[in-house]
């Protein structure tokens, strides 16, 4: 189990940090909403909290702004990662969502920019993050590319079509 030491971005205009999920975040996470067009690409936190509590290969992470949850994602370890990469030290990033009322304010980008340092501290053995993004989800592709993810050229079929596999070296 990773230790709990949230990574912070202490810029003057905002206080954004990543923190391992805790039950104290449930009220805010269970009130997250997504625009309808995004719901097909990801999961709301309230739909996966019980699953991640029961699965030790799922490591839920909360994006906080001034200590309030604004985003959520899951880092996965274990055999599921092998579908995306042959790297045994990789983690899989899934289920990234930003609450609809907080979208367009840069929280997704700021949170993803903190990912490398967070992973170095929480999962010191990890040297790569992989993810799959739907070929129709252009905004997510652009976000991931802006924060350093690169398209591996690998393609897999997801529930709603082709997905591009991206990676980020740690």
- With beta carbons less than 8 A apart as the criterion, state whether 124 and 77 touch: no
User: For the segment 70-119, what is each residue's pLDDT rounded down to a tens digit?
Assistant: 999 999 999 999 999 999 999 999 999 888 888 888 999 999 999 999 99
Q: What is the dihedral sign for C-alpha 52, 53, 56, 62?
A: positive
Q: Tell me the C-alpha distance between 64 and 107, whole Å.
A: 8
Of 93, 104, 106, residue with least CA distance to 59: 93
User: For the segment 35-46, what is each residue's pLDDT rounded down to a tens digit?
Assistant: 676 766 777 788
Instruction: Assess whether pLDDT exceeds 60 at residue 134.
Output: yes
Segment 128-151 shows an average pLDDT of 95
83: Cα separation from own chain's centroid: 18
Q: What pLDDT, on a 0 to 100 scale, did the predictor assign at position 128?
A: 98
Strand (E) positions, the chain? 7-9, 16-20, 58-65, 68-76, 90-98, 128-134, 150-158, 161-169
Segment 122-144 shows an average pLDDT of 95
Architecture of the 7-169 domain: 3-Layer(aba) Sandwich (3.40)
Residue 137: other Cβ atoms inside 10 A? 20
């Amino acid at each position: 189990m990773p230790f709990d030491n949230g990574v912070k971005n202490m810029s003057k205009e905002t206080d954004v940090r990543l923190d391992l999920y805790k039950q104290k975040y449930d009220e805010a996470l269970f009130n997250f909403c997504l625009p309808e067009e995004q719901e097909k690409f990801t999961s709301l936190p309230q739909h996966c909290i019980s699953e991640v509590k029961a699965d030790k290969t799922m490591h839920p992470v909360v994006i906080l702004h001034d200590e309030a949850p604004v985003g959520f994602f899951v880092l996965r370890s274990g055999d599921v990662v092998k579908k995306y990469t042959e790297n045994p030290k990789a983690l899989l990033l899934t289920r990234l969502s930003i609450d609809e009322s907080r979208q367009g304010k840069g929280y997704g980008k700021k949170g993803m920019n903190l990912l490398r340092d967070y992973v170095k501290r929480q999962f010191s053995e990890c040297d790569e993050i992989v993810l799959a993004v739907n070929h129709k989800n252009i905004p997510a592709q652009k976000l991931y590319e802006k924060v350093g993810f690169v398209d591996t050229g690998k393609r897999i079929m997801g529930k709603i079509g082709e997905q591009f596999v991206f990676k980020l070296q740690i």
